[in-house]
Amino acid sequence: MITANGARPNPSWFNYAITAKARSNIRHYLKNQTQEDAIALGRRLLDKSLAGFELNIAELSEARLKNYLESAGLSTLDELLADLAQGKRLPGVVASQLAGETSTEGPTPQPGSDSPLAIRGTEGFMVSYARCCRPLPGDAIAGYISSERGVIVHRETCRNLAELRDKPEQWIPLRWDDQVQGEFLAELRIETENRRGAIATIATRINSMNVNIDKISSTDKDYQFTYVDLDLHVESRVHLARIMRRLRGIDSVRRVSRVRN
């Protein structure tokens, strides 16, 4: 068993937990953590939308906020913020309604209301990274708000984003924060010669760089070459580029490329 300061359960642990107590504790933690993540993200989303009206949550009077929550059938601000993060309510609409209560002339968004939301990598369960394009810090990104799943981050060039551009109410401009934390999954395809121990050599080279392999598989291209597909945990696009350069230095490796959608 490997432990680390700041470690926390994740949903995949259900595949390994055996006792009912362990599974119950994991479920309880994830439920509470997801709620905390949702509230934190919802606050950022609402503040971002309110900025277009030259407002923020702290500037809303208690009376105005109370009136809005009552009209929306909500008891607390935290409930509203969680709903925003989970896609149950749209930040732009809520901000417009809140701003409308502060202006007799009606709300008019100001320039800058479409400024990108900064992704820090610490948002928890309410921000996820699309499996189809595996966005990394350094990539141009965009995303949308999905019901129950929060913000889904894609690479800006991902083909799967095309249909979502027709749903501006769910679309959200994104950028990476200047101080991104954590590791992100990247997918590589390596073309290597069919040599005994070739895959072991690749794995050893990656391990020597203190990089974790999430998944590895191989398929024969032909009698001479094999494709090795890897899912790796990396810090950024620059980090991935360094790994790719090291892998290209292996004699049996013919080509290394990042899988793109």
* Domain annotation for the chain: domains and CATH numbers: 11-100 (no CATH), 117-176 (no CATH), 184-258 (3.30.70.260)
pLDDT above 90 covers a percentage of the chain that reads 37
Check whether 54 has a pLDDT greater than 80: yes
Average pLDDT over residues 173-180: 91
Within the chain, where are the H helices?
A: 20-51, 62-72, 77-85, 91-100, 198-208, 237-248
Q: How confident is residue 244, by pLDDT bands cut at 50, 70 and 90?
A: very high
Task: List b or e across 104-124, with b for residues whose CB sees 16 or more CB atoms inside 10 angstroms.
Answer: eeebebeeebeeebebbbebb
- Give CA–CA dist 195/188, Å, rounded: 19
Cα 126–chain centre separation: 8
Tell the residue number behind the tokens 């499996």, with chain if given.
131
pLDDT digits (tens, 9 = 90+) for 76-131: 999 999 888 888 888 888 988 888 744 434 445 444 456 788 998 887 777 889 99
